[in-house]
Amino acid sequence: MLTKKQLALLEFIHKRLQQDGVPPSFDEMKTALDLRSKSGIHRLITALEERGFIRRLAHRARAIEIVRLPENMMAASDQPDFSPEVIQGGKQSAPPVEMIGAMELPVMGRIAAGVPIEAISQVSHQVAVPTAMLSSAGQHFALEVKGDSMINAGINDGDVVVIRECATADNGEIVVALVEGQEATLKRIYKSGNRITLEAENPNYEPREYPASLVQVQGKLVGLIRSY
Give the catalytic positions in this structure: 149, 187
The answer to whether the beta carbons of residues 166 and 101 sit under 8 Å apart is no
- How far is the C-alpha of 116 from the C-alpha of 108, rounded, in Å? 16
- How far is the C-alpha of 191 from the C-alpha of 12, rounded, in Å? 25
Cα separation values, 213 from 3, 168, 169, 195, 217, Å: 49, 13, 15, 8, 11
Q: What is the dihedral of CA 66, 69, 75, 81, to 10 degrees?
A: 50
The answer to whether the beta carbons of residues 143 and 111 sit under 8 Å apart is yes
E-only strand ranges, 40-101:
54-56, 64-66, 86-87
CA angle 214/139/220 to nearest 5° reads 45
